[in-house]
C-alpha cells in the first residue's frame, strides 16, 4: 500500500498528462495548418513542446 501511495503522490497521473500534452500539441498544430503560423501559435506550440518534454521525462523516470 505504501508503494502505491508513493507512486500516486510522486508521479500522479503521468500517463494522462502525456496524453493531454500530446493532444494539446496536435490541437495547436491543426490550428497552424488551418489558419497559418502566427507568433502567438508559435509561442503556444513551443510552450506545449516544453510541457510534453517534461512529462515524457517524468514518464521515463516512472518506467525506470
Q: What is the pLDDT of residues 5-50, one digit of tens each?
A: 777 777 778 888 999 999 999 999 999 999 999 999 999 999 999 9
Q: Delimit the domains of the chain by residue range.
A: 2-63
Per-residue pLDDT at 18? 92
Per-residue pLDDT at 58? 87
pTM: 0.77
Per-residue pLDDT at 49? 96
Determine the Cα–Cα distance for residues 40 and 42; give it in Å rounded to an integer: 5
Of 56, 19, 59, 26, nearest to 44 by C-alpha is: 26
Per-residue pLDDT at 23? 97
Amino acid at each position: 500500500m505504501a508503494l502505491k501511495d508513493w507512486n500516486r503522490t510522486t508521479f500522479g497521473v503521468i500517463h494522462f498528462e502525456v496524453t493531454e500534452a500530446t493532444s494539446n500539441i496536435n490541437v495547436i498544430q491543426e490550428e497552424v495548418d488551418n489558419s497559418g503560423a502566427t507568433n502567438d501559435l508559435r509561442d503556444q506550440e513551443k510552450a506545449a513542446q516544453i510541457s510534453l518534454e517534461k512529462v515524457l521525462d517524468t514518464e521515463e523516470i516512472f518506467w525506470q
